[in-house]
Amino acid sequence: MSQEFSKGKGSFGAIMTFCLLIILYQGKQIRNKREYDYIKSGPGVSEVRMLSDYFEGLRDTPMDTRVYILRGREKGGNSLILGGTHGNEISGIVSAMYMVENIEVEKGTLFIIPRINESAASAVQVFSGDADYLFLGNDRKVRMGARRSNLTEHWPQKNSYNLRENIYLREDEARNLNRVYPGKRSGNLTEKLAFGVAELVRREYIDMTFDLHEGRPRFEGLNAAIVSRNSMDIALETALELEFEEINLRVEESGPGLYGLIHNELPKVSNTKAVLLETVNTAQGSMTGKVNNNLYLTGEDPIYAKLKDMGITSKVYKPYTLNERIARHVTSVEFFLRVLGSFNDRDEVVLRGVPSFEYIRDTDINKLF
């Protein structure tokens, strides 16, 4: 009897040890995903600040993030680039990283935040099959995060999200940075983050704010810019100039019903113009098969390809490589800034060292980083 009891105790101990090991392993994984991505400050970077330097409420929180400042020698305008509003939309993050590491500014100042939502970077996109990291073919890796901020930092979640007065959104939109603008000084962490962005925009007199996104293949022409009303003339001119280079960019005007979105809300609380840029990421698709690093890099998915052959997804599916998506974001920002400067000299930001669309598209990704 006593022998059986001690045998039971032994297996209980083994199970507990096993559980403890799993907890320790998982804990390490979670801690790793809270570490900032490696980003090298390129020759154009004059200073690196924290977003909490603009809004103290973010200090020592999981939301604080690095702001890279690229100042030109000549006085000009100020623009801001955000990557990683949605942590699983990788082209925006790597495009912002690429600009920090490679471009210089001749006139004006460029503020770049490659990973605006650090909390979303530490989370996992539910049902996506996403890996923890995107590998760029060398020793560089970038965290694959989730669309929304980490639930563990926003617990408990209420039944609905009250943006303001009588505007209510779905409960999990309280963790979606692009639904909580213009943010709240004493709101949840995601609302504080949006408030921090608005503070930076106001204090640095940002003329144009870019928010880099991507989405699943769902309709023709997702390669798009959704822009605030005060940017429409600049956006249409930019699209026309891109068209001359055979780069299509669909322009859409933001509307009053787009509650909490950056292009609708930020211009109401500051003097900025706001531009949200989208590329197409097959890995985010609802019909995508196995998700792996190759899919992140090539955009090629056998199930979408088969459905396209059958005529089912022929209007929506075209594989876009990560290179091409980076080329689209970088070139679009460059063209927007050029047109912005041509409209008003005081807003001008002149970039130097921006490679051509074709160079970024056609160079091995491990050579870009």
The residues that touch Zn ion, with contacts defined as CB under 5 A, are 86, 89, 213
Residue 115 C-beta: closest distance to Zn ion, Å: 14
Q: Looking at residue 45, what DSSP letter applies?
A: -
Q: Which of 68, 171, 63, 81 is nearest to 122 (CA)?
A: 63
**Roughly what angle, to the nearest 10 degrees, separates helices 189-203 and 262-269?**
50
Nearer to Zn ion, 33 or 213 (CB): 213
CB nearer Zn ion, residue 85 or residue 109: 85
φ, ψ of residue 75 in degrees (nearest 5): -70, 140
Using the minimum distance from each CB to Zn ion, give the nearer residue, 89 or 265.
89
CB closer to Zn ion out of 39 and 222: 222
Q: Which two tokens stand for residue 296?
A: 């992140």
The answer for residues whose C-beta is within 8 angstroms of residue 297's C-beta and 6 or more apart is 137, 321, 322, 365
Letter string b/e over residues 178-216, b meaning 16 or more CB atoms within 10 A of that residue's CB: bbbbbbbeeebbbbbbbbbbbbbbeebebbbbbbbbbbb
Tokens of 294: 């190759």
Q: Which H helix or E strand runs over 143?
A: strand 141-143
- Residue 225 or residue 349: which is nearer to Zn ion going by CB? 225
- Of residues 213 and 325, the one with the C-beta less far from Zn ion: 213
Query: Residue 110 corresponds to which tokens in the numbers above?
Result: 């460029």
Query: Which of 214/237 has CB closer to Zn ion?
Result: 214
- Least distance from Zn ion to the Cβ atom of residue 279, Å: 10
Given the complex with Zn ion, which of 71 and 143 has the nearer CB atom?
143
Quick one: CA dihedral 121, 133, 142, 279, positive or negative? negative
Which DSSP letter does residue 186 get? T
- Shortest distance in whole angstroms from residue 280 CB to Zn ion: 12
List all residues 6 or more positions away from 275 whose beta carbon is below 8 Å from its beta carbon: 208, 209, 210, 211, 225, 226, 227, 228, 231, 235, 263, 336
State the nearest-atom distance from the C-beta of 276 to Zn ion, in Å. Answer: 8
User: Are the beta carbons of 341 and 349 closer than 8 angstroms?
Assistant: yes
Q: Is 142 exposed, middle or buried (0-12, 13-18, 19+ CB in 10 A)?
A: buried
Q: Nearest distance from residue 175's CB to Zn ion, in Å?
A: 13
Minimum separation from the CB atom of position 85 to Zn ion (A): 6
Q: At its nearest, how many Å lie between Zn ion and the CB of residue 23?
A: 33
The residue whose Cβ lies closest to Zn ion is 213
Question: What gap in Å lies between CA 361 and CA 342, rounded to an integer?
Answer: 27
Q: At its nearest, how many Å lie between Zn ion and the CB of residue 278?
A: 7
Minimum distance of Zn ion from residue 6's CB (angstroms):
57
Q: Which is nearer to Zn ion, 211 or 347 (CB)?
A: 211
